[in-house]
Amino acid sequence: MWDILKNRWRQGHRTTGFPPKEELPERFRGRPRTQEGGSVDLGRCFFSADADRDAAGALLNYSRNYRLAVSRREDLNLKGEELKLAGRLDAAMQKLFGRSLKLRAVCAGSCNGCDLELQALSNVVFDLSRFGIQFVASPRHADGLVVTGPVTRNMELALKKTYDAVPDPKIVIAVGACAISGGPFEGSSEVLNGADKSIPVDLYIPGCPPHPLTLLDGLLRLLGRIRGKNHV
């Protein structure tokens, strides 16, 4: 027991502050920068340094800005570096969910990349539960859904039934390029090209996959927990 306590003391405090005070590493690929007059659909962006291009065909370069979540699909059309970030829920919904939010994750055909980042939110580094947000096993115990994957045709009914099982009022969060646009599977006859083709979506969090900080930022914006000029 003494050795365990000594080891814990040496480890120190591991949970990162939010927003993070330290600068993100140079290799971090955050909000893209487009050329003057250029634009890019973040909902279809893979955040790949050698694959993503803006509407003019120019390769994108990436900032270290992790703030990417929006409330409407059309707001993911980025021009320059301006992005209309997600707004908070209305007063009634915020009163219900602002201090305690239970979410049910639905993997609707994903590669598990986004699911692993969602799982990372519960580790000691990001500690999602400190904000009153937790994942639950049953949709009947949930306040909303987190959807990953392009929604394959054999998952469409399961997704709709899970949505119907969540008590009203409820929210839906689309995580990752696949859940927003179909990602690399867009146009396939076997996918629906995103969650909003089947159920209404309240928050879009782009990425392939999105970083846990991007996920945290989107969730806290939705709940009205982020304020101030530094959170842009």
| DSSP state string for 160-218 | HHHHHHSPSS-EEEEEHHHHHH-GGGTT-TTB-SSGGGTS--SEEE--SSPPHHHHHHH
- CA-nearest of 63, 54, 58 to 81 is 63
Q: Where in the chain is the domain with CATH 3.40.50.12280?
A: 91-222
**pTM (two decimals):** 0.91
Q: Is the dihedral of CA 56, 60, 63, 69 positive or negative?
A: positive
Q: What is the pLDDT of residues 92-138, one digit of tens each?
A: 998 889 889 999 999 999 999 999 999 999 999 999 999 999 999 99
Mean pLDDT calculated for residue range 219-231: 75
> In angstroms, rounded to a whole number, what is the distance separating the alpha carbons of residues 111 and 160?
20
Return the pLDDT at 232: 53
Distances in Å between the alpha carbon of 201 and those of 73, 126, 180? Answer: 9, 25, 9
pLDDT over 50 (residue 229)? no
Return the pLDDT at 227: 63
The DSSP 8-state label assigned to residue 129 in this structure reads G
Mean pLDDT calculated for residue range 49-66: 83
Return the pLDDT at 55: 73
Buried b (16+ CB within 10 A) or exposed e, 178-212: bbbbbbebbeeeebbbbbbebbebbbbbbbbbbbb
Return the pLDDT at 197: 95
Taking the domain 91-222, which CATH number applies? 3.40.50.12280
